[in-house]
Structure 1
Amino acid sequence: MRCAVKDQLLKGTMILTIAGFATRVIGFCYRIFLAGELGEVNLGIYQLIFPVYSICFTIYAAGIQTAVSQLISHQPQKNHGQIIKAGITLSLCLAVILSFGLFSFRTVIAHSFLGADKTAPLLFVLAFIFPFCGVTSTINGYFYGKNNAKIPAVTQIIEQLVRVVFVVSFCFYDLIPVSSLILSVAGLVIGELASNFYNMYHLIKESSLIHLFRQKAQFGNVIRMALPLTGTKLIIALLGSVESVFIPPILCRAGSSLEDALAIYGILTGIVLPFILFPGTITNSLSVLLLPAISRASGKKDNHHVRQTTSVTVRYSLLLGVLTCAVFLNYGMDLGQFVFHSENAGKLLTLLAFLCPFLYVTTTLGSIINGLGKTVITFAFTVIGLIIRIGCLFFLAPVYGIFGYLFGLLCSQIVICLCHGIYLMKKTHITIQVAKYFVWPFVFLVSLLYISKIFCRNLIHLTNQPYLSYLLLIPVLFAAFLYFYQCGLISKKDIKLFR
């Protein structure tokens, strides 16, 4: 029986990992299209609506989804209808209230909170997404609680695919006389609507709606569990939103025009950060697998397995971060120009290259700490990081512009990473050889990629074939992995720890 549960859990995490990777790839390709279609300034305006979306989603869905998932997993099947009914009803009521609030006060929010009047029509369209998103999230929580990860995974992919097809088709064929900005937000709504239909269909297959709504809802249990979860997530959402919406006005105080500030904001949040986070898809997928593995080992008091797993995953995350950092340091400008046709994107990508090792390692460390059941610790460290970023934004950015904020971004990530690392070292007594897994790989990779960059540029000058020349990066990356293997930094036996 235990073996069957373990296999089901592993299967579920693998499905979520594959789905997460697929949606990241689709989303990344979509961002390339969006950056070219909207332009830098409009991309900044588009990105400004997401702080509002984040706050609202946290209120009407985030805590309720987790509460439903936990209650479903712990209560007998006869109570499942009561739980899902309560979750959907609560989420739908909150979503409708927030939708009407956004409809009514969109102009005030756009002008006073976001500082960009052009976001008002985008907020009007965005408000339609809340009810569908609330119901979808609650149903996903229901299936997570039943260890059925397939439905939520397919839901993610459907939402992404429908959104991309809708926006690209309407923009490419110019089917209706609406701006690309409005279409981009409408794509969010259409994608969520499609995934909602898919979710509802599978919920009805499991339990007819008539049977579902005849049952008495467990409002008390859902509210009691959802309130603290929503509260902690709302603090992070509010701090993150304050950070995001104040970037353009503070850049204006530093001497930029509003258009330039919005363009920088759009490049940073819509192009550069997603680009830096894209290789982190691997560490995110690893984290999904880590959580149950660490939880199982911790439950059995198997401290040796926890130490081994922690040590191996931190090493791999660090190596990925070092490799990505070296690539962005040497080829950041080229990638910005080649992928997004933006020189500014290339500059920011190069500047933020050092973020990669700390960012990827933090993702892994956070998942390990959560697996040990210490979610309050990761919450506290996240809040500390956000406060550092907001502090640098308010005190350094008005003087040094975007560089003051980027300094805060890097400092906060280093602090969060160190906090996670120190906590785990005390908890699990692991040690990481920094010189072996960070310093020497970094020196080797930066040198190797710098030489390859000079060679590539000379080859481009001689052949005038930039695309063909950059294919030389493939053997360079192969040489990097060969170096990792020969130095004993990676091995085949490490993967056995996740079985």
Structure 2
Amino acid sequence: MDMRKKRSLWWGTLTLTGAAVASRGLGLVYRMLLARFLGAEGLGFFQMIFPFYVALVTLAVAGTPVAVSQLIAEEHTNPRRLMRLALIIVTVVSVPLIGLVIMLAKPLAVMLYHDPRFIPLIITIAPALIAVGFSAVLRGYFVGIQQLTYPALSQVSEQLSRVVILYTILNFIGRHAFHNAPLVAVALIPIGEGVSLVILALAYVRSYAPLAGVMSHTSKVRDILRLSVPVTFSRLLGSLVGVIEAFFIPMRLEAAGMSPYNAIRYFGQLTGMALPLIFFPTALTLSLSTNLVPVVAHCHSAEDEQGIREAVMEGLEATAVFTVPVTILLLALGIKLDDLFFHAHIHADVFYPLVLGGFFLYFDITLSGALRGLGRTDIPMRNDLIASALEILMIYLLSINPRMAPTGIPTAIGLGFVLSMVFNAVSFTRLSRIRIPWGKILLRPLASSIPVLLTLALWHIWGMGRHLPQAESLMGSIGLTILAYLLSLRLTGPTHHRLL
């Protein structure tokens, strides 16, 4: 892998990661505002409708962003013509889908949720599909040409717009002014997507003149569909798993003896308060995975096996450097952080399995990007299908016993993350014949984390006698932990210092 591509990989990852961290930070603020605005039950309703929205988005986008970024990176196509084809595909899919969702809102609400209160929520999210489809294609274009400032800006602006609106409602209008608070929260989804689309569209117009002429390049259509269809099915699968969990988990909890109110409340806490903290570190791995697709695709097109090896190994090393200490922090402080942000009071038996499973999820995301860069977008789809089916089965088995159900469900979700990562790691090794040196990847971050544990213990002992406020104690723990980890990591060798 030449130095230009290596710089573009890390600079692109840095740009998207910075935007993702800012967006996730705003997302945590947004979740806190949502919790205040909706309450536990209202947040449960919002979390139940959101997987359905993600499933619709997956259908509307049709996997075209990955195809666009990969085909542009391979430098065998005209970017302007490719963009026109991709936008036509998204339009043809999303516009009829919007009409279908609006017409079938009532039967969908009854069939999926057994509750007519979901009808206006389903109708409200439908218009967002065309905006998110166009935005996704434009993001794929900018990723493909390795100009990531605009996707980063749009990502942050989308989340910021929702935070500003919700903050204004809570502090200047009041939550009690709205009869249907979940409907207001759902309405913020298309608003945010609209803001993102405006930014990306303006950036694209400035980059290229409007396209003209009639396209008849069926080979390019086939190329787009060849790469996008497996991604679509893979993401649709994840969305459908979310939809299934949205009604299956409360149903299993009710069967275990929990009241309907408490079942929805539990689901809201699990998916709206615990999992967002677990998903926060994916700010790096999702950015890295996005950038690995065009970089690995370029090396694969040039038959540069060494370039593929370097890109993927450095990607996994960066994942380890970041996620090992984050996982330790979540195990040590995650429950207190969750209480501080959401006042969730989540039990350790619920939180810890998600943290441990999340550690594998972070590597799974990076490996998925590597596989898609090799042109095998079907492999992550297959592996997700198997892991998701096993996860649903484990949710059922671990919730048979009423006393096990509240802890068995997050355990099943965590094991699902583990299985998906293992399947993708085996698939990458078989496809590329590149052996992943997990010992080398994990040894230094784990060794550098020993001072982190000592620092946390000493800080805890020091703070016990001083009765520090919870927020100050947590911020001090995080700050000292980061400092101890960075100092230790620098002493372990040049590789990780370079990655940082």
Structure 1 residue 40 and structure 2 residue 45: aligned?
A: no
Give 1:351 shift.
Answer: 4.2
Q: Name the counterpart of 1:354.
A: 356
- The AA in structure 2 aligned to 1:466 is Q
Structure 1 residue 192 and structure 2 residue 197: aligned?
A: no
Q: Residue by residue, what CA displacement relative to the aligned partner does 1:51-110 show, whole Å, maximum 9, x if unpaired?
A: 221222122213234444556665665x825x4444334423432222222222222212
Distance 1:315 1:231 in 2: 27
Q: Name the counterpart of 1:106.
A: 105
Within a 5 Å distance, the mapping from 1:488-499 to structure 2 comes to 488=492, 491-494=493-496
Q: Name the counterpart of 2:50.
A: 50
Q: Residue by residue, what CA displacement relative to the aligned partner does 1:285-338 show, whole Å, maximum 9, x if unpaired?
A: 444454555556656666566556655554553454442333233323322222
Deviates more, 1:225-234 or 1:250-259: 225-234
In the alignment of these two chains, the number of paired residues is 486
Give 1:343 shift.
Answer: 0.6
Q: Tell me: CA distance 1:155–1:496, structure 2 relative to 1, closer, same or farther (3 Å).
A: same
Structure 1 residue 412 and structure 2 residue 413: aligned?
A: no
- The AA in structure 2 aligned to 1:479 is A
Q: CA RMSD in A?
A: 3.6
Give 1:207 shift.
Answer: 5.6
Q: Name the counterpart of 1:270.
A: 272
Give 1:193 shift.
Answer: 1.8
Q: Name the counterpart of 1:428.
A: 434
Q: Tell me: CA distance 1:298–1:456, structure 2 relative to 1, closer, same or farther (3 Å).
A: farther
Distance 1:68 1:305 in 2: 21
Distance 1:71 1:297 in 2: 13
Deviates more, 1:431-440 or 1:183-192: 431-440
Q: Tell me: CA distance 1:263–1:106, structure 2 relative to 1, closer, same or farther (3 Å).
A: same
Contact 2:102 2:126 in 1 (8 A): yes
User: Secondary structure at the residue paired with 1:153?
Assistant: helix
Contact 2:445 2:489 in 1 (8 A): no
Q: Residue by residue, what CA displacement relative to the aligned partner does 1:235-257 show, whole Å, maximum 9, x if unpaired?
A: 54234234432222222222222
Distance 1:203 1:308 in 2: 32
Give 1:410 shift.
Answer: 2.2
Deviates more, 1:335-344 or 1:436-445: 436-445
Distance 1:302 1:208 in 2: 34
Give 1:225 shift.
Answer: 3.7
Within a 5 Å distance, the mapping from 1:179-258 to structure 2 comes to 179-205=180-206, 212=211, 215-218=213-216, 220-221=218-219, 223-228=221-226, 229-238=228-237, 239-245=240-246, 246-258=248-260
Q: Tell me: CA distance 1:116–1:172, structure 2 relative to 1, closer, same or farther (3 Å).
A: farther
**Unaligned residue ranges in structure 2 (runs of 5+):** none
Q: Name the counterpart of 1:138.
A: 137
User: Secondary structure at the residue paired with 2:438?
Assistant: coil
Contact 1:167 1:183 in 2 (8 A): no
Q: Name the counterpart of 1:18.
A: 18
Aligned-residue sequence identity (percent) comes to: 24
Deviates more, 1:328-337 or 1:11-20: 11-20
Q: Tell me: CA distance 1:117–1:71, structure 2 relative to 1, closer, same or farther (3 Å).
A: same
Give 1:450 shift.
Answer: 4.8
Q: Name the counterpart of 2:165.
A: 166
Q: Name the counterpart of 1:62.
A: 62
Distance 2:281 2:335 in 1: 17
Distance 1:272 1:180 in 2: 22
Which residue of 310, 321, 329 maps to 2:331?
329
- The AA in structure 2 aligned to 1:162 is S
Give 1:275 shift.
Answer: 0.3
- The AA in structure 2 aligned to 1:475 is L
Structure 1 residue 402 and structure 2 residue 403: aligned?
A: no
Q: Tell me: CA distance 1:216–1:251, structure 2 relative to 1, closer, same or farther (3 Å).
A: same
Q: Tell me: CA distance 1:76–1:446, structure 2 relative to 1, closer, same or farther (3 Å).
A: closer
Contact 1:322 1:441 in 2 (8 A): no
Distance 2:168 2:416 in 1: 40
Which residue of 383, 386, 389 maps to 2:388?
386
Distance 2:72 2:315 in 1: 31
